[in-house]
A = this chain, B = another copy of it.
Amino acid sequence: MAENGMFLWNSWYAAAWAHELIDGKMVARTILEQPIVFYRGESGKVVALDDRCCHRAAPLSMGRIEGDDIRCMYHGMKFDSSGKCIQIPGQEMIPPKLGVKGYPIVERYGLIFIWMGDATAADTNLVVDYPPLDDPKWRGLPGYMHYKANWLLIVDNLSDFAHLAFVHTNTLGGSEEYAYKTKPVAVERLDDGFRVERWHMDADPPPYHRKVIANKTDKIDRRNIGRMMVPGIFLLDSMFAPAGQGAEKGVQVPGTRQYRNAQFMTPETRSSTHFFWNYLHDFDIDNPNITLSLRHSLEEGFNEDKAIIEAQQKVFDADPDYQMLAIRADAALSHFRWALGQRLAAEKTARTASGAQAAAS
């Protein structure tokens, strides 16, 4: 399956949590419609290879890890961590073309990131930078969900906080008022996505937050700052400050609570998505009940999203020509789709050029 124009190939994608690979466990996971096997070799190195033996296409994930190598357990061919075939039982000469595709990997923040496109362009500096994910003053429990929906429908969802009011009224949102009374301060259009900031002044604490604080009734000033980046990474900084004390002017109000939230939407196929997330808090970090409560609240909220987003996908499956109509609140998601489209087009141009070059040489 050749690279296609549907996905951005030259990009780092969250592919697995590091804890999924403990104790020699292999993970067979499809990323951008490519079947890939992930494992941690005995040296500690994480390996990602095409999950199809080059010989008869048997999944390497049904094979056996040997050191940093992997052996296909159909006819015993062995591949090193780059994908090169290094042993064929019963055959001495190994043709150099025998091997499977290997993928560049970076391990950071407890996540395994994979580079799906041209390996020579795999610059580790391009991995997303979100310090709270490995800052010990922030605490969270990493989560994973599988969506039967195109990743951009999840991006859309996160791009308009108004959905908090209706989808998450009784969980993450707290009131329908949020949709009527609040607006983004601004939608900052970036080359690789957008930044949006939204305040809800003098509001009741939303249910998920109320569960983990002592004072459950005092009004709060709520601020969300979200950044969305290609190919589908969402970083959300949330602040709940006691109301009316100037948080919106930058006052550091005592009793303020903050959250940091990272979400990674990685396409499995054009109509399904791997969703990795971690929701971090910086208070009571040694109280596991707080951490667990937030984990469960977020999961509850994400399942509300999942129900509606998978229903959208079914609409598009049934009628691929269905045309959506934009409203003003779509400014952020429209910009994101435009920015992604620019990147996809650039990648396509580069692919065509290098194809022409290859054909000419």
Distance in angstroms from A163 CB to nearest chain B CB is 6
Residue of B nearest to A99 (CB): B325
Please state if A316 and B75 are interface contacts (CB–CB under 8 Å): no
Give the size category of A's interface with B.
35 or more
Q: Are A75 and B312 in contact (CB under 8 A)?
A: no
In the complex, which residue of chain B has the Cβ closest to the Cβ of A93? Answer: B328
Say whether B89 contacts A165, CB under 8 Å.
yes
Asked if A167 is at the interface (CB within 8 A of a chain B CB), the reply is: yes
A62-B311, A318-B35 given; A163·B75 CB < 8 A: yes
Q: Any chain B CB within 8 A of the CB of A135?
A: no
A295 to B: closest C-beta gap in Å? 25
- Is residue A154 within 8 Å, beta carbon to beta carbon, of the partner chain? no
CB <8 Å contact, A316 and B57: yes
User: Among residues 29 to 74 in chain A, which have CB atoms less than 8 Å away from a CB atom of chain B?
Assistant: 33, 35, 52, 54-59, 62, 71-74
Residues of chain B within 8 A of A166, CB atoms compared: 71-76
Q: How far is the CA of A321 from the CA of B91 in the complex (A)?
A: 27
Chain B residues with CB under 8 A of A1: 318-319, 321-322
Q: A52 touching B90 by the CB < 8 A rule? A: no
Question: A186 an interface residue at 8 Å Cβ cutoff?
Answer: no
20 further A-B pairs in the complex, CB-CB below 8 A; given A54-B325, A88-B327, A89-B162: A1-B321, A35-B315, A55-B324, A56-B312, A57-B315, A57-B322, A59-B308, A59-B311, A59-B315, A73-B167, A73-B308, A75-B163, A75-B166, A75-B329, A76-B165, A76-B176, A88-B328, A88-B329, A90-B179, A91-B329
Interface residues of A (CB under 8 A from B): 1, 33, 35, 52, 54-59, 62, 71-77, 88-91, 95, 97-98, 156, 160, 162-163, 165-167, 176, 179-180, 182-183, 307-308, 311-312, 315-316, 318-319, 321-322, 324-330
